[in-house]
């Protein structure tokens, strides 16, 4: 049965697409995987070194308009990652214009995902969202098996996460199978007291303690191990035009981020 995963938080700059593309690639090693891009910035394609604006016709906005069959909009990234199991249903700026004028945007997205699921072509559908909670995003929350929430330790993101935490029980009333993994992302190393070697309680640690207390009474909500902040993600894209876990060349500085992403993937698979 196809598993649907959404990556979402109402805050830009959290590494949402970075998580989506790395995790989707790792899932594609286990089964056929589709990334659906619901962000008009088109960062999913860009994460594989592809300009989203090249796709003048074959994009999700035309699929949702009913002007294009979804299968004709699929882009397989085999030539980039040497893996035939990963497809993308791309987005670009056309999606922004479509979403702004469509009252049934969420319903159309829900129906599209349901139609794709019924084909049994994919083991995993991973939905990358815009950094907000629009109708389409809410619709996917209502049908997803798993939601991944990237979280960085800063006040604005904390506010956005608080709002999502309040909404999770409502989504779970509508979608009883829904599980949620909060991923502390772009984490900086813990500072230590040079004299004693003890960890200094940073804002990150304080926020994480508060977060654990907030989700304590929630069902099927988990916190993953933090993913370190690393320039190597950008280096992988700049040097190899692909997510870091898809880089097969031996690059020593890539080892730590790769290991953290693989550990997260194991955690994700244990929940779905």
> What pLDDT shows up at residue 155?
87
Q: Quote the CA–CA distance of 232 and 152 in Å, as a whole number.
A: 18
Structure token pair of residue 66: 């009913």
> What pLDDT shows up at residue 32?
98
> What pLDDT shows up at residue 103?
82
> What pLDDT shows up at residue 204?
84
**pLDDT above 70: residue 200:** no
Higher confidence at residue 129 or residue 132? 129
263 CA to centre of own chain:
16
Structure token pair of residue 45: 């394609």
Residue pLDDT, tens place only, 72-84: 999 999 999 989 9
For strands 75-76 and 124-129, give the pairing.
Answer: unpaired
List, in sequence order, the alpha helices (H) in the chain.
Answer: 16-28, 43-46, 60-65, 70-73, 78-81, 93-101, 105-118, 135-141, 155-174, 203-214, 232-240, 255-271
Binned at pLDDT 50, 70 and 90, residue 48 comes out as very high
Instruction: Report which secondary-structure segment, H or E, holds 182.
Output: strand 179-184
Query: Residues near 78 by Cβ (< 8 Å), separated by ≥ 6?
Result: 84, 86
The model's pTM: 0.94
Of the chain, the percentage scoring pLDDT greater than 90 comes to: 81
> What pLDDT shows up at residue 197?
67
Binned at pLDDT 50, 70 and 90, residue 247 comes out as very high
- What percent of the residues of the chain are helix, what percent strand, and what percent coil, each to the nearest 5? 45, 15, 40
**pLDDT above 90: residue 184:** yes
Binned at pLDDT 50, 70 and 90, residue 201 comes out as low
Residue pLDDT, tens place only, 76-114: 999 999 899 999 999 999 999 898 888 899 999 999 999
**pLDDT above 90: residue 202:** no
Coil/strand/helix, residue 217: coil
Q: Quote the CA–CA distance of 202 and 179 in Å, as a whole number.
A: 29
């Amino acid at each position: 049965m196809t598993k649907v995963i959404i990556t979402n938080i109402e805050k830009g700059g959290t590494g949402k697409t970075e998580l989506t593309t790395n995790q989707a690639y790792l899932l594609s090693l286990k089964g056929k995987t589709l990334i659906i891009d619901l962000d008009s910035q088109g960062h999913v394609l860009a994460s594989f070194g592809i300009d989203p604006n090249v796709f003048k016709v074959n994009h999700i906005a035309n699929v949702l308009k009913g002007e294009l069959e979804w299968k004709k909009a699929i882009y397989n990234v085999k030539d980039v990652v040497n893996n035939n199991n990963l497809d993308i249903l791309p987005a670009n700026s056309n999606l922004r214009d479509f979403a702004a004028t469509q009252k049934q945007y969420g319903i159309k997205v829900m129906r599209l995902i349901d139609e794709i699921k019924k084909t049994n072509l994919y083991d995993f559908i991973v939905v990358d969202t815009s950094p907000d909670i629009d109708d389409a995003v809410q619709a996917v929350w209502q049908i997803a098996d798993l939601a991944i929430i990237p979280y960085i330790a800063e006040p604005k993101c904390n506010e956005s996460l608080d709002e999502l935490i309040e909404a999770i029980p409502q989504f779970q009333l509508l979608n009883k199978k829904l599980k949620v993994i909060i991923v502390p992302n772009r984490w900086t190393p813990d500072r230590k007291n040079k004299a004693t070697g003890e960890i200094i309680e940073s804002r990150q640690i304080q926020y994480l303690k508060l977060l654990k207390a907030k989700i304590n009474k929630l069902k099927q909500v988990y916190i993953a191990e933090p993913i370190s902040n690393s320039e190597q993600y950008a280096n992988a894209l700049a040097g190899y035009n692909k997510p870091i876990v898809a880089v097969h060349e031996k690059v020593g500085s890539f080892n730590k981020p790769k290991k953290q992403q693989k550990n997260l993937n194991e955690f994700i698979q244990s929940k779905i």
